[in-house]
Amino acid sequence: MTTALITGSTAGIGAAFARRLAAQGHNLVLVARDTKRLREQATELHDRHGIEAEVLTADLATEAGIAAVEQRLSDRTHPVDLLVNNAGFGNKGRYLEVPMADELTMLKVHVEAVLRLTSAATQSMRSRGRGAVVNVASVAAFVPRGTYGASKAWVVQFTQGAARDLADSGVRLMALCPGFVRTEFHERAGMGTDNIPNWMWLDADKLVTEALADLGRGKTLSIPDPRYKALMGLVKLTPRGLLGGVTSRTGRKYGPQ
């Protein structure tokens, strides 16, 4: 039986990955900051699907948290076959309105943690000749909008580059770029969602189903849902200067996860 490790597993897209993978019979390593929620999630998934669910409390904004997950991913006696780097957050406010400490914490979680955990996982996977990594980015990666979008653009570029370098190793990597998803993400960041049209909202469970299908097809970039595929096609045709002005007027509109 294979094992999947999911960061940010207790809510939103991470929780949807946990539900889907447990239903498919994968054992899980659930990673988040809240031990109580992790244990409740592990018990529910074990009771419902009969899988083993390991709990690992870790704050990926800290050195200790990243190191703890690195250590688990490097464990060759209990290998992880699928890593889902999902943990992330948003900051409310425009550039220079957000405290520098918060901006650096975002880079710690979105960039350093993703780099280190992907590296720890793929080193072990390459030695076995199999494995996969899904790094959750965002459609925000494709628009010029602050540290959030920049960090997610890094995730996309890093993941696709690493996928190319490991193409003959049996290890697959994919960047997942969702649009707006009904999760706790915006509430935790204190962001209002009243100005977001209903058609832009995605269901987390359907999103994960499409993402895993794209991973199975060998894609290195997944933009689940035809609406966002079309929208990102328009973004590519829009001049960067005009696009920057639009996203500036709408605030952190393109900050879904």
- Residues marked active site are found at 148
Task: Report d(CA 65, CA 141) in Å as an integer.
Answer: 25
Helix, strand, or coil (residue 59): coil
Task: Report d(CA 200, CA 210) in Å as an integer.
Answer: 16
Handedness of CA 189, 33, 257, 12 (dihedral sign): negative
* Strand 53-57, strand 82-85: pairing: unpaired
Task: Report d(CA 93, CA 28) in Å as an integer.
Answer: 35
Task: Report d(CA 146, CA 156) in Å as an integer.
Answer: 16
Please count the residues of the chain.
Answer: 257
Helix, strand, or coil (residue 160): helix
Alpha carbon of 111 to those of 104, 106, 149, 150, 214: distances in Å? 10, 8, 12, 10, 23
Task: Report d(CA 153, CA 139) in Å as an integer.
Answer: 9
